[in-house]
């Protein structure tokens, strides 16, 4: 599996190839909301609130859609998520509660 940094570069290349690298951040966030709704629906199915079949593969696909958009949004602002992840993880190592 590629690193997060490599994956973010894949997204950048893919979006440039399709002319999607100039998408407005506000539109990306709207799409993220849409994907979060799709994730929510799968979770509601899993818990029986929605009377529809739950397929963990579908949940995996929706989570990945959201990851793609997260990387895409980060690219819009030249944020390197692997660096941010590593900084966050350093902070989390010393965390003792959820606040």
Which lies closer to Mg ion via its Cβ, residue 59 or residue 80?
A: 59
Binding-residue pattern over the window 24 to 43 for Mg ion, x denoting contact by CB under 5 A: -----------x--x-----
Across 54-88, b (16+ Cβ under 10 Å) vs e yields: eeeeebeebeebbebbbbbbbbeeeeebeeeeeee
- Residues with Cβ within 8 Å of 2's Cβ and at least 6 positions away in sequence, in order, are 10
Name the minimum Å distance from CB 62 to Mg ion. 5
Which lies closer to Mg ion via its Cβ, residue 57 or residue 95?
A: 57
Token digits of residue 95? 């965390």
Name the minimum Å distance from CB 6 to Mg ion. 22
Q: Which residues bind Mg ion (CB under 5 A)?
A: 35, 38, 62, 65
């Amino acid at each position: 599996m590629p690193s997060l940094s490599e994956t973010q570069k894949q997204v950048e290349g893919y979006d440039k190839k399709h002319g999607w690298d100039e998408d407005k951040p506000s539109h990306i966030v709207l799409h993220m909301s849409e994907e979060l709704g799709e994730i929510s629906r799968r979770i509601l199915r899993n818990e029986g609130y929605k009377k529809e079949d739950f397929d963990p593969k579908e949940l995996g696909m929706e989570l990945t859609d959201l990851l793609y958009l997260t990387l895409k949004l980060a690219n819009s602002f030249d944020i390197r998520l692997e660096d941010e992840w590593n900084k966050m993880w350093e902070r989390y190592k010393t965390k003792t509660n959820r606040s």
